[in-house]
Amino acid sequence: MSVPRHWRESKRRYRLLGTKCKSCKKLHYPPRTVCSSCKSRDLEEYQFKGKGNIYSYTIIRNPPEGYTFCRPYAAALVELEEGEIVTAQITDCDLDHLEIGMPVEVVIRKLFAYGESGIIVYGYKFRPILPRK
């Protein structure tokens, strides 16, 4: 268990903070130090809005060690409004009624814990955007 390993990721993991290439305007999430499109190393932070659609999804029924507390759970490739795709869990949802194209928004949730007395790691998940009543 390492605290710095998760602490150093906190801005990116809590706020969906990525990067934008100053040269070709390409956006990245996860953030990078070299642009994946034009190799420029002149990048700046970019705050993603946190809304998108499900590009593909699955229901994880055999979780890895540390994730069994919320089994089964949904995971997805979420295509953000900005065009980038991120991997995350889908939470607060009915597992039987997910579909490709479903609009979702980012929330912060517990990802996993290092045992009962270890640190708890938080991060982004997405939830379906419900129609306003």
Partner 1 sequence: MPCMPGIGKKSGCDEMNDVAIVGIGCTPVGEPWNKSLREIAVESTWAAMNDAGVNEVDGLVVGNMSSGNFVDQESLGSLIADYAGLGNITAFKVEGACGSGGVAFRTGVMAVASGMHDVVCVTGVEKMTDVVGDSATKILANASDREYEAVHGVTFVGLNAMVMRRYMHDYNARREDICSIPVNSHKNAVHNKNAMFRREISLDSVINSPMVADPLSLMECAPICDGAASIILTTRERAKEFTDTPIIVKGSAVKVDTIGVHDRKNVTSMTATVEAAKEAYNMAKLTPKDMDTAELHDAFSIMGVIGLEDLGFVRHGKGAHFAAEGQIGIGGKLPCCTYGGLKARGHPVGATGVYQILELTKNLRGEGVVDAQNGIAQNIGGTGSTVSVTILGRDI
- Residue 57 lies near partner 1 (rule: CB under 8 A): yes
- Residue 121 lies near partner 1 (rule: CB under 8 A): yes
State how far the Cα of 129 lies from the Cα of 62, in Å rounded to an integer: 27
Residue 132 C-beta: closest distance to partner 1, Å: 28
Compare residues 2 and 131 and give the one whose CB is closer to partner 1.
Answer: 2
Nearest to 89 by CA among 113, 72, 65, 101: 72
State how far the Cα of 22 lies from the Cα of 31, in Å rounded to an integer: 13
Q: Classify 118 as helix, strand or coil.
A: coil
Residue 58 C-beta: closest distance to partner 1, Å: 4
| Residue 128, beta-bridge partner list | 104
Residue numbers at the binding site for partner 1 (CB under 8 A)? 9, 13, 30, 36, 55-68, 70, 73, 75-77, 84-89, 100, 111-112, 121, 123, 125
